[in-house]
Amino acid sequence: MRRPKSRKSRSHAVGALKRPIVLVGLMGAGKSSIGRLVAARLGLEFVDADAEIENAAHSSIEEIFEIHGVAAFRSGERRVIERLLAGPVRVVATGGGAFMDDDTRRQIKTLAHSVWLKADLETLLKRVARRGGRPLLKNKDPRTVLAALMAARDPVYAKADITVETSENPPAEVAERMIKALESHLGVGLLAPAGKRGESHGRAMGGPGRRDRRAGARHGGGQPAKPQPGDRG
């Protein structure tokens, strides 16, 4: 069972954002890991566009590339991202080539707040080595492929609303810097005030908020009930 999100944090972020946050960048930039952290911090839903494509096609990304080709994959990717952008305010991680598609890029620029997660070549090489299933690297030299992709794609990624460096920084630190960059870009705070956030966080984690503690005291409950851990962090 998923741990419940803070309603106050969620409503505060949704009210301030009004549009989804879309992460763009090369494979290995940390779009999924950092996207999940940012979503959790803001009390928003996180969606991985590649996972949504696989669910819709009932095939892996690698299988779609091999069986149907790149053009068919990009067409399906475009439709999935269009659907995700039309949904509620949330954090969306896109595949490395999504922002390169003119139509998809226009959709993202028009309907979302775009963030380029930028990493250097050495960092990308370390990260892609940890996980397979990357069609563009299959049977090829990763350094050569990534260097060529950086040269071709970085100028396009730079058109995103915000750029956040991710190289060799802990994901939690990058997530915090990304939230601050979004706040600076939008000119609004995305996190609830500290007092309210702390109270909401206590209830979201299964512990008592201020109102819960007062209720326990009125009923002679003594110490509040111990928090119940969720199945996932």
Q: 163: domain CATH number?
A: 3.40.50.300
- In whole angstroms, give the CA distance from residue 115 to residue 113: 7
pLDDT, block means (10 residues), the chain with 233 residues: 49 80 95 96 95 88 86 90 93 96 95 96 89 73 94 97 91 95 93 54 40 41 36 30
pLDDT computed for residue 132 by the predictor = 64
Three-state secondary structure string covering the chain: CCCCCCHHHHHHHHHHHCCCEEEECCCCCCHHHHHHHHHHHHCCCEEEHHHHHHHHHCCCHHHHHHHHCHHHHHHHHHHHHHHHHCCCCCEEECCCCHHHCHHHHHHHHHHCEEEEEECCHHHHHHHHCCCCCCHHHCCCCHHHHHHHHHHHHHHHHCCCCEEEECCCCCHHHHHHHHHHHHHHHHCCCCCCCHHHHHHHHHHHCCCCCHHHHHHHHHCCCCCCCCCCCCCCC
User: For residues 213 and 170, what is the distance between their CA atoms, to the nearest angstrom?
Assistant: 35
59 part of a folded domain: yes
The answer as to whether 167 is a domain residue is: yes
Do the domain assignments include residue 227?
Answer: no
Q: Is residue 206 included in any domain, yes or no?
A: no
Q: From the centroid of its chain, how far is CA 58?
A: 22
What is the token pair recorded at 207? 């512990």
Residue 225 covered by a domain: no
pLDDT of the residue at 123: 93
Query: Considering only CA atoms, which of 77, 75, 17 is closest in space to residue 43?
Result: 17
- Cβ neighbors of 119 (< 8 A, separation 6 or more) are 25, 26, 28, 29, 30, 127, 165, 166, 167
Structure tokens at 199: 């109270």
Answer whether residue 28 is part of any domain: yes
Q: Is residue 116 part of a domain?
A: yes
Q: How many domains does the chain have?
A: 1
- Is residue 219 assigned to a domain? no
Domain that includes residue 89, residue range: 7-186
